[in-house]
Amino acid sequence: MATHFDLLIRGGTCMLPWGAAETDVGVRDGRIAAIGPAGSATATAEIVATGLHVLPGLIDPHVHLRDPGDASIESIPTGTKAAVLGGLTAVFDMPNTSPSIVNAETLAWKQGYAAREAWCDMGLYVGGTKTNIPDLASLEVAAGVCAVKVFAGSSTGDLMVEDDEHLERIMRAGQRRIAYHSEDEYRLQARKPNYKSGDPYRFHMEWRDEECAFLGTRRLMALARRTGRPAHILHVSTWQELDYLRDYRDIATVEVLVNHLTQFAPDVYDTLKGFGVMNPPIRGREHYEAAWAAIANGTVDTIGSDHAPHPKAAKLKPWPDCPAGLTGVQTLVPVMLDHVNAGRLSLARMVDLMAAGPARIYGALNKGRIVAGYDADFTLVDLKKQRRITNDWIVTPAGWTPFDGMQVTGWPVGTIIRGQQVMRDDEVLGTPTGKLVAFR
């Protein structure tokens, strides 16, 4: 009797942990059941992937889905729909949403909402604050929680933890890796009076300068070494930090953003104005080149979008009245595929940074690799397909992208989550079936 699968992907070039291979993949009960020539095997559904690359399901480990504070900006339904259109099978959502995810009650609400409305799988960060330290050890092991997130700079209200005393107390409350926004809040506030409304947009990177980021990272590394608590430094943006963190690989891992790999100052502020304002800032070309060097030498562990949409009208305001934050979850994969085609990194390194890397750093179970027994999550890409990214392709209600007009080579043409195809050729299929990611 011929072998039967729920789904059979035939003839694609599969990016396996040990290298690329043109082969078939069989799926049964949402898991990868077989890798190799399928021969006469049958399947309930079949995808002919000849000419395509079959990647393990790609993950954006850094998004802000702001629902339900203002659904005209973003929501789990629209944000995760954007993710699957962009070829992502999972996203990890930050806690500075409305309400902030800082206790069992707000976490339970978010868990339920994600289970009902998400198009892709989701991980959830819990915010570490000055007031919830006694609860963090239990919150960090709750269902779907990928990590504790600490804003050591650039946040508001409860989520700001700027002083060493509370940072150390948070580090001693629990065991899992903590993800940090690393900017020194004291330096930010001391420099703020030097600037006024209507100053050039490029002043954003002068106010939040290299020392602001580097000082924050140095402080966090000293505390991490003292407590032995692993750290993941998010959106590293300076050559100084990237060079420094190479000596802390025993305790720290590193994320860079697609924007810091694609755009640089002053060009980004001259052309995009408020639509190029984010935290930490997009900086000069020397930092852009350092980020690519860190990709090449292995310093960087993950790449994210820091998807943080704001209404177009708000981004049109003068600096510093315009909010910081850019859309990015839908464009992350096409932009990175374009970098692959430009020769800046290999497809294997992209997969390491966007699938295996996030799974490894956050302890996601059965994600990030094409191996038997893992979740049948796949991103199908056409490396030769040329497209222009445009605002009218963006499904986030904000309706804009900082990459509007960018011509790219390489495009996601299929998204498969646990054996179900949820996107095919720019069309979202079926109904939301996302689940919470399981973490170690």
pLDDT digits over 190-212, tens only?
999 999 999 999 999 999 999 99
Which of 194-198, 309-313, 367-371 bottoms out in mean pLDDT, i.e. has the lowest?
Answer: 309-313
Averaged pLDDT, 86-111: 92
The least confident of 1-5, 16-20, 128-132, 244-248 is 1-5
Band the pLDDT of 1: cuts 50, 70, 90: low
The rounded mean pLDDT for the chain is 96
Structure token pair of residue 66: 């702001």
For 284, which DSSP code? B
Which of 79-93, 128-142, 151-165, 264-278 has the lowest average pLDDT? 151-165
Output the pLDDT for position 95. Answer: 87
Quick one: pLDDT at residue 339? 98
Dihedral sign, Cα of residue 435, residue 334, residue 326, residue 257: positive
Give pLDDT, residue 279: 97
Q: Where are the alpha helices (DSSP H) in 228-311?
A: 239-245, 267-272, 285-297
Mean local confidence (pLDDT), 290-296: 98
Tell me if 376 sits within 8 A of 32, measured CB to CB: yes
Q: Range(s) for CATH 3.20.20.140 in the chain?
A: 63-362
At 66, is the pLDDT very low, low, confident or very high (cuts 50, 70, 90)? confident
pTM over 0.85: yes
pLDDT at position 67 is 59
Statement: residue 14 has pLDDT above 60: yes
User: 326: closest CA among 405, 235, 398?
Assistant: 398
Nearest residue to 325 via CA among 276, 268, 377? 276
Integer CA distances (angstroms), 141 to 13, 331, 362, 369, in order: 37, 31, 12, 23
In CATH terms, the fold of domain 63-362 is TIM Barrel (3.20.20)
Q: Residue 185 is which amino acid?
A: E
Local confidence band at 72 (pLDDT 50, 70, 90 cut-offs): low
Q: How far apart are CA 420 and CA 199, in angstroms?
A: 50
Q: H or E stretch including 14? A: strand 4-16
- Residues forming the active site: 306
> Which of 5-9, 88-92, 150-154 shows the lowest per-residue confidence on average (mean pLDDT)?
150-154
Helix H or strand E segment including 20: strand 19-28
Using the predicted structure, report yes or no on whether residue 250 has a pLDDT greater than 70.
yes
> Helices (DSSP H) in 47-135: which residue ranges?
76-85, 104-117
Q: Does the pLDDT at position 117 exceed 80?
A: yes
Rounded to an integer, the average pLDDT of 312-322 is 97
CA distances, 245 to each of 12, 129, 239, 252 (Å): 38, 25, 10, 7
Confidence of residue 394 (pLDDT cuts 50, 70, 90): very high
SS3 143: coil
Q: Tokens 């009076």: give the residue.
A: 193
Terminal CA-CA length for the chain? 38
CA distance 11 to 22: 6
β-pairing, 145-151 vs 420-424, is unpaired
Closest CA to 123 of 135, 112, 133, 114: 114
CATH 2.30.40.10 positions along the chain are 4-54+373-386+406-428
Three-state DSSP class for residue 385: strand
Bigger pLDDT: 175 or 97? 175
Split at pLDDT 50, 70, 90, the class of 154 is confident
- In which band, very low, low, confident or very high, does the pLDDT at 84 lie, cut at 50, 70 and 90? very high
At a CB cut-off of 8 Å and minimum separation 6, what does 223 contact?
A: 164, 167, 168, 171, 229
Q: In this predicted structure, what is the pLDDT of residue 125?
A: 97
Q: Coil, helix or strand for 191?
A: helix
Other beta carbons within 10 Å of 135:
18
Query: Span 4-54+373-386+406-428: which CATH code?
Result: 2.30.40.10
pLDDT of the residue at 96: 79
> Residue 97's pLDDT is what?
73
Least trusted range by pLDDT, from 71-80, 100-109, 342-351, 372-381: 71-80
